[in-house]
Structure 1
Amino acid sequence: MENFRTNGILAVTLLIAGVSDPATAQDAGQILRDVERNLPRSEPSAPTLPSLVPPTPETEFLKEGDTVRVTGFRILSTLFSEQELQAQLSSYIGRDCTLGDLREAAAQIARYYGKHDYLARAILPSQTLENGIVTIQVLEARMGRVLIDSSSNTRLDPERAADFIHAQNAAGEPLRPSAIATGVSNLTQIPGMQALGVLDAGQEEGTTDVRLKLLEPKPVNTTLLVDNSSVREIGNIRALGMMTVSNTFGMGEQLALTGQVTKSSRYMQVLAGAPVMDGEYWLEAMGGALRYEIDKKYNAATPKGDAQTVALNVRWLGLRTSSDPVNFALGAEHKWTNDRLAGLESSDNGVAAVTFAAYRRLRDTWMGGGAFVLNGQLKAGFVDLSGNRTNKEFDKATARTQGYFGKANFSVARVQNLWTDGDARVTLSAQISTRNLNSAEQFTLGGLGAVRAYPASVGNGDQGALLNVEIGHRVTDDLRLSLHWDAGVIEQHKNTWDGWQDLSSPHNQYVLQGVGAEVQWTPFSNVQARATVSHYVGNDGSRRITSAALDSRRRDLQAWVQLVLTV
């Protein structure tokens, strides 16, 4: 039995050695990771807070320059006791006040309401000011109807839209601005939906209506993409198509179909989502499938395999009353990967995990304006290698990825205006892990979205960090030029073992970096073309290579070309 295990491990080792470059050997988990990482994604849109109730005209009962000695206040209200509100105006008692002073006193009452999340306007009705008593009338807003403005362009059912708002602030109840803002924020969880809530005079006396201005994309959107960002072993050139069907039933639902083709791989993904619990949450389900085959010129054993992934996610908003809310997500996923070498199964793995993620965009006016984009994700999961006994024994003798794992990813990005039509974009991203990871969960440095001087899937490891710095200038409305510097550090294995150098780069930790330029051209609103060139800087620690060959590689430029058409 022991000889069987030893021979099995040796066989796997020999098959891996058949790869022309062991440091970039591909398997289904790694290919699945790279494919899903490079799929187009849209960012959540930020809500707009509702405006205030239009001011109510007041009667001028004091002439300019006249004063009144204030002896007390009579406050007409229902939500707070008169004594509680009178206590807010104690500093005015015994003073000679002008009309402006009295209006400030009324405004102080309105601010007190606002502090307690009520919308109200305090006015000074016509009065005689007998015995120095000042009357303040508080117009307390109560929730009325929810209407969709005629200028809106939306398919969302009006009753469905009203449910989003009334779930936070029921009709007839005191109107709370934060509740209205939350309802409007929840509407923006529908992908592509832009929402603005405007408060207006209600149909019934004492009520305030919410008039929604909604704008959403057309029901069917299609994106076609062609570029050379794929992994070399399955074909650099990829063609991707994504069709999104949005809100066709008026319930806020969305269906997205994605397909990707390279020379030696096929990938399909189906994603469906809808708002639930009157927009409190966005529920989303995803399923994807991959099939690949590597040409024998890269590996004499002609590896082939397949992978499947399913996921269920729920999203919600935090700090909903802010113009920059936090997007939270809780999810569960499962991945299955299967690889074959020389016609023999070499691995049959399963990875199950739960994730918690947060996203926030913070806009500001510093130095001409800019924004921070913050992303973070925690993942805990279990790797099951029991589907293939030989692979499990090989893993036990090497990386020991079988079992529970945890990892954290984060990124901080800053977009900053520098001068007229000039900007800087800086992104720092990183991953840390609790142990050695399955290839589907590793960090990577190479590729169009990373260190652009290196091919996709170069520089893989359990832990790493990546810094991208770009300075650009918009020459015309449709042409942008930029320069970039990319640098990353990778740790291949959280924990090393005897003989690990024979399977990958001799350096467990190394740095990759490069510099380059990019031109982005948008000749039409639905067409965008990008061309990027980048040059290696420093040593290439990702592989064993002679000095002569390294010098030759340094003279090479890595070029990327991408064409995107949206219809």
Structure 2
Amino acid sequence: MKNRSHLPSRAPILNRRAHSLLLAAGLALVWSAPGLAQRPDAGQSLRDIESARPQLLPTPAPQLELTPPAAESPAAEDAGPRLLVTGFGFSGNSVFAQDTLARQLQALAGQELSLAELHAAANGITRFYQQHGYLLAQAYLPPQDIEDGWVRIDIQEGRYDQVTLDNASAVRNEVLQAPLRPLAGQLVERDALDSALLRLNDLPGVKVRSTLRPGSQAGSSDLLVQALPGDRLSGGVELDNYGSKYTGEYRLGGNLNFNNPLALGDQLSLRAMGSDGRQQYQRLSYQLPVGPWLTRVGAAYSNMEYRLGRDFTDLEAHGNARIQSGFLSQPLWRGRNASVYAQLMYDDKRLKDDIDVIDSRGVKRVRLWTAMLSANGQDGWGGGGISQASLAYGYGQLGIDDPIARRADRRTADTQGHFSKLSLSAVRLQRLSQRFSLYTQFNGQWTDRNLDSSEKISLGGPYAVRAYPAGDASGDQGWIGNLELRYAAWPGVETSLFYDYGLTRANKRDWGGSNPVLSRAAAGLGLNWLRDSLRLNVSAAWRVGNDGGQNTRNPAIWAQATWQL
């Protein structure tokens, strides 16, 4: 019998290595199939963190104390001589033409009017001006000799005499005076006054009150603006289960705003979040107002780190996203009932995804310019409501560092290179009765080519189709609709019934022989509880119809608790 030498067995090590390689290879086949569940990466993880539901809040009206001019008092009795009126002429009017004003009184032409009725006609012109926002305009009958039945009405349209700032805040005078300077010498008009005061109220760290009082000249008014100290710090803490099961479902986060740190009406903001898995996120941003229209200019830096667990633990997959951003924001129209904003943003995203078990190192860079037009408003239609909408156009470029990854991308999704996308969002909260309201929301995205995961739209998550996990059914283009019937059960307690539906196409351009249109639907119940600065939101959502082949009847439970400073 031959002697056999015995060496330490390497079978367990080889088996583990082979298992990991086979797992990686098998998962790679799954990830390359369009429309199927994909491994979360830096782009998707970043999207899930930065998504949020729009906050619909009414715009508080500016605090304005107004001493209106006294209206002409008609005679106590409709007595005395009557005059056959042929028509009316006007003096002192610059806003409205003679014909426009004459049409307001055309029903009186050809009638015999008393002095009291002539005063009432002048008061009608005053009301016409004030209904169009000219708060201090006054029309009156001057002493005159009436010839051929033509009656003259003089108009004082009301101009600013002095605009005075009483600044008790920490914001510098020159910042607060910027939107007030254009008012000097102009007509006192509500929209222009509201715009100036609301722009001042938008500044962090300041609260504004104003008073209009008679000026030193006839028909003029002085505007006194008081700037009071606002909150130097603001922010909040939040706890939720909105995270991915692969990076940690339970998340604790907070944000802190330092208002007016340099006395420029500026703001320094910090945000941080961590999950019970291995995901961390930090964001630092700074913005300040510039110029006479208080254009907001800002910059931000974000960092996100993640490591995958559960089904992907053996891959030892991890990565990060680092984003440098700059932005401009300008109110095109700022009013108490409606506002319109224009924004220009630039993001430089560096996305890194590593899989240690196969020694894979993936680095991508996305440079994206976005132009956005957004609007919000409140109205009395159908019982009253609040609306918000935005339209954004993005143009960017994706670069892939690794040559092997670039070649693989060209043979498959072909995402590298220039791309553009159009995004539309619309929200409406409609009052139905004293207790019932209806909330509707639409989000859509369209693109000209296949996109990186950081630019896609997903159907699943707490702000989309709520019966599915965050990041589910991601696609290059698609849309999501939400419908909620809300009921105010008690003060601070609101319940809701909701239905969510969405469609996505996995890829704009087909590859790999399959490019399904994915649909998701859900119905559920919600509860919102608010007391002072503490808010609790809970929802339970069940899948309706096609559930992506996952065949589960268990509801998805989403919960979030927030506390505001």
Shift of 1:414: 2.1
Amino acid across the alignment from 1:512: R
How many Å apart are 1:85 and its aligned residue? Answer: 9.9
Deviation per residue, 1:328-380 (Å, 9 max, x gap): 21222211111111163432111112112122224233333223322221111
Q: Which amino acid aligns with 1:329?
A: Q
- Deviation, 1:519, is 1.9
Q: CA deviation at 1:416?
A: 1.9
Unaligned 5+ residue runs, structure 2? Answer: 1-21
Once the two structures are overlaid, the 10-residue window that deviates more, 62-71 or 473-482, is: 62-71
Equivalent of 2:118 in 102, 107, 110: 102
Q: Which amino acid aligns with 1:431?
A: Q
Paired with 1:19 and 1:133, the residues of 2 have a C-alpha distance of: 85
- The aligned residue for residue 161 of structure 1 is 176
- Residues 413 and 450, structure 2, Cα contact 8 Å, conserved in 1: yes
Q: 1:466 to 1:18 in 2, by over 3 A?
A: closer
Kept in 2: contact 1:220–1:246 (CA 8 A): yes
Asked if the contact 2:450/2:508 (under 8 Å) is kept, the reply is yes
| Greater mean deviation of Cα atoms: 395-404 or 513-522 | 513-522
2:448 is the counterpart of 1:440 = no
* Structural RMSD (CA): 3.8
Contact preservation (8 Å) 1:228, 1:562: yes
Q: Is the 8 A contact 2:214 2:222 kept in 1?
A: yes
C-alpha distance in 2, partners of 1:87/1:19? 73
**Does residue 179 in structure 1 map to residue 192 in structure 2?**
yes
Q: How does 1:509-520 map to 2 (within 5 A)?
A: 509-520=517-528
Alpha-carbon distance between aligned partners in 1 of 2:469 and 2:44, rounded to the nearest angstrom = 14
* 1:294-333 equivalences in 2 (<5 Å): 294-295=308-309, 297-320=311-334, 323-333=337-347
Bigger shift: 321-330 or 474-483?
A: 321-330
Pairing 1:283-302 to 2, within 5 Å after superposition: 283-295=297-309, 297-302=311-316
More displaced 10-residue stretch of structure 1: 84-93 or 48-57:
84-93
Counterpart code for 1:97:
L
1: distance between equivalents of 2:310 and 2:137? 77
* Partner amino acid, structure 2, of 1:352: R
How many pairs were matched up? Answer: 536
- In 2 relative to 1, CA 207–409 (structure 1 residues): closer, same or farther, beyond 3 Å? same
Is 2:534 the partner of 1:527?
A: yes
SS state of the match for residue 298, structure 1? Answer: helix
Partner of 2:554: 556
Structure 1 residue aligned with 2:384, among 361, 369, 373?
369
| 1:246 pairs with one of 234, 239, 259 | 259
Which deviates more from structure 2 when the two are superposed, residues 136-145 or residues 445-454?
136-145
Distance (whole Å) between structure 2 residues aligned to residue 348 and residue 410 of structure 1: 30
Q: 1:474 aligns with which of 460, 470, 488?
A: 488
Map of 1:21-60 to 2, 5 A cutoff? 23-38=37-52, 46=59, 48=61, 54-58=68-72
State the distance in 2 between where 1:14 and 1:450 align: 30
Whether contact under 8 Å (2:171, 2:206) holds in the other structure is no
Q: Matches of 2:241 and 2:93 in 1, distance apart?
A: 67
The separation in 2 between residues aligned to 1:441 and 1:337, in whole angstroms, is 12
Which residue in 1 is equivalent to 2:161? 144
State the distance in 1 between where 2:88 and 2:535 align.
65
* Conserved 8 A contact 1:432-1:464: yes
Q: 1:417 aligns with which of 411, 431, 439?
A: 431
SS in 1 for 2:337: coil
For residues 370 and 539 of structure 1, the distance between their equivalents in structure 2, rounded to whole angstroms, comes to 34
Aligned match of 2:233 in 204, 220, 232?
Answer: 220
1:234 is matched with: 247
C-alpha contact 1:18 1:300 (8 A) present in aligned 2: no
What per-residue deviation string (whole Å, max 9, x for no partner) do you get for residues 370-405 of structure 1?
2332222111111112x1111111110111111111
The answer on 1:453 being equivalent to 2:460 is no
TM-score when normalising by structure 1: 0.82
Judged with a 3 Å threshold, the aligned counterparts in structure 2 of structure 1 residues 480 and 116 are, in CA distance, closer, same or farther, namely closer
1:406 Cα deviation after fit: 1.0
State the one-letter code of the partner of 1:331. Answer: M
Match among 503, 511, 522 for residue 497 of structure 1: 511
User: What residue in structure 1 maps to residue 516 of structure 2?
Assistant: 508
| Displacement after TM superposition at 1:470 (Å) | 1.4
Provide the rounded CA distance (Å) in 1 between the counterparts of 2:249 and 2:188: 57
Judging changes above 3 Å, is the alpha-carbon distance between structure 1 residues 364 and 120 closer, same or farther for their aligned structure 2 residues?
A: closer
Shift of 1:25: 0.8
Aligned partner of 2:374 among 331, 350, 359: 359
Q: Which residue of 4, 9, 28 corresponds with 1:16?
A: 28
One of 209, 215, 219 as aligned partner of 1:202:
215
Say if 1:561 and 1:140 are closer, same or farther in 2 by CA, change over 3 A.
closer
**How has the CA–CA distance of structure 1 residues 183 and 353 changed in structure 2, closer, same or farther, with 3 Å as cutoff?**
same
Given that residues 89 and 98 in structure 2 are in contact (C-alpha distance below 8 angstroms), is that contact kept between their aligned partners in structure 1? no
8 Å CA contact retained: 1:301, 1:341: yes
Question: Does 1:255 pair with 2:268?
Answer: yes
Identity %: 25
Alpha-carbon contact 1:48-1:195 (below 8 Å) kept: no
Partners of 1:291 and 1:379 lie apart in 2 by 25
**Mapped contact 2:57–2:386 kept (Cα < 8 A):** no
Relative distance call for 1:431 and 1:76 in structure 2 (3 A) is closer
1:292: how far off? 1.2
Contact 2:69–2:136 at 8 Å: present in 1 too? no
Residue identity opposite 2:444 in structure 1:
A
- C-alpha distance in 1, partners of 2:431/2:188? 39
Alpha carbons 1:422, 1:472 under 8 Å: kept: yes
Closer, same or farther in 2 for the Cα pair 1:531/1:57, shift >3 Å?
Answer: closer
Listed as ranges, the matches of 1:67-86 within 5 Å are 67-69=82-84, 77=92
1:30–1:202 Cα change, 3 Å: same
- 1:144–1:254: structure 2 CA closer, same or farther, 3 Å change rule? farther
Matching residue's letter, 1:221: S
CA distance in 2, matches of 1:117, 1:258: 42
CA distance in 1, matches of 2:266, 2:331: 18
How many Å apart are 1:87 and its aligned residue?
Answer: 7.8
Output the CA distance in 2 between the equivalents of 1:462 and 1:534.
25
Query: Is the 8 Å Cα contact of residues 103 and 123 (structure 1) preserved in structure 2?
Result: no
Q: What is the TM-score normalised by the length of structure 2? A: 0.83
CA, structure 1 residues 534+77, in 2 after alignment: closer, same or farther (shift >3 Å)?
Answer: closer
Q: Please state if 1:334 is matched with 2:348.
A: yes
Q: Is this contact kept in 2: 1:272–1:285, CA < 8 A?
A: yes
Moved more, 365-374 or 530-539: 365-374
